[in-house]
Amino acid sequence: MVTNKDKEQKDEDIVLGVQSGKIDSFGLLVQRYEERIKRYGRKFLAGYEDIEDIVQQVFLKAYINIQSFDASRKFSSWLYRIAHNEFINAIRKKKKEPLPFFNPDIIFPHPLSKETADKRVREEDVNKIVDKCLDKLDPKYREIIVLYYFEEMRYKEIADILHIPVSTVGVRIKRAKNIMNQFIKNYG
Amino acid sequence: MDNKIIEKIKNSQIKMKPKWRFALKSFLLVVLSLLLLFLLLFLVSFILRFGLFISFRVFPWMILLFVIGFVVLLEFLISRYAAAYRRPVIYSVIAIIVIIFLAGGVMNMLRFHEMIERRNLPMIRRMYDGPTIHPIMHPMMQPIRKNIKFEINGRERL
């Protein structure tokens, strides 16, 4: 039974409870993240079927591996990392889009553009345009755009989810924007 | 969705993996990384001690492939940790190379290879046959070499 006290708890404290046997508390984590993971899946895997099943698989994997979660870290990043792996597996299985085995943009450093609050607010205005262009992007750019614009994550959080350097996050966002700008110029 | 998942968990269709499995996996990863690091140190200190020419004669070109392969594998193992993946790959590769060259130099200062050679370990003693050759065994002396046989401690040397 989930109580009001449970609802005020931090994710990491709930995980500690689940790890020590409070299985019902896991339902609370599912409630908190179901919509967010579904939105991430729908945007990233636009045009794919069975998104509900994949999202369910994400939560089942999270439960199976919950003992590996270190409560001193952020639960949301850990869960999104599982979701990222499941979504990538889904793309590989369907073979609709090519996925590179290795990305050279993680090898060398790139100058990092500063993230500021007002910049993000201004960028929120373009969400609708971004939404229209998403399917024109390769998966590696599409995913980063979804995490940055729709999940409103910081560069460091995105780096932790995708296991790529923080500077690469900035570069991919910039390249994705250029591709979208080009698309808007060409097709209005 | 939460009810469906909790139901699956309660019906024992889904089971949580025990903590010891993750601890064992982490432990094995650390052991494997240390083993790789030691192998890299061994090979690099060997090159530093006897020079590239002798090293290539002992294991022709394989040594370079081994060193590169071990660096790639070690990089793959450490890239699971935030300290490694948050920075460009080139940084951790440079860090690995600097560490193995410094530690390799220290190993040579401590005469590590002389100690191994004295122990006459069956698995690797052939490696040390090459480095201890007399200058007359240099490839430039090839025509003379055919007629000379060296024997040290009852073993034939190159």
What DSSP state is assigned to residue A49?
S
pLDDT value of residue B153: 56
Work out the pLDDT band at B1, boundaries 50, 70, 90. confident
Could you give the CA distance from residue B40 to residue B107 in angstroms, rounded to a whole number?
12
Q: What is the pLDDT of residues B35-91, one digit of tens each?
A: 999 989 988 898 888 887 777 766 667 777 888 898 899 988 888 888 999 999 999
Q: What are phi and psi of A50, to 5 degrees?
A: 60, 30
Chain A residues within an 8 Å CB radius of B4? 56
pLDDT value of residue B130: 57
Chain B residues within an 8 Å CB radius of A172? none
Taking CB atoms and an 8 Å limit, are A56 and B4 in contact across chains?
yes
Q: What is the pLDDT of residues A82-110, one digit of tens each?
A: 999 999 999 988 877 778 778 888 888 88
pLDDT value of residue B134: 45
pLDDT value of residue A95: 76
pLDDT value of residue A135: 81
Taking CB atoms and an 8 Å limit, are A64 and B17 in contact across chains?
yes
Among A33, A43, A34, A32, residue whose Cα is nearest residue A150: A43
Q: What is the pLDDT of residues B105-158, one digit of tens each?
A: 999 999 898 888 888 777 777 777 655 544 444 454 455 555 555 555 555 554
Q: What is the dihedral of CA A81, B4, B12, B19, to 10 degrees?
A: 20
Chain A residues within an 8 Å CB radius of B80? 163
Which residues of chain A have a pLDDT value below 70? 1-7, 112-126, 188
Over residues B27-37, the mean pLDDT reads: 92
B17: left (phi over 0), alpha (psi -120 to 50) or beta: beta
Over residues B4-28, the mean pLDDT reads: 89
- Helix H or strand E encompassing A107: none
Work out the pLDDT band at B29, boundaries 50, 70, 90. very high
From the list A65, A67, A159, the residue facing B86 with the nearest CB is A159
Q: What is the pLDDT of residues B51-63, one digit of tens each?
A: 877 777 666 677 7
How many CB pairs (< 8 A) connect A and B?
81
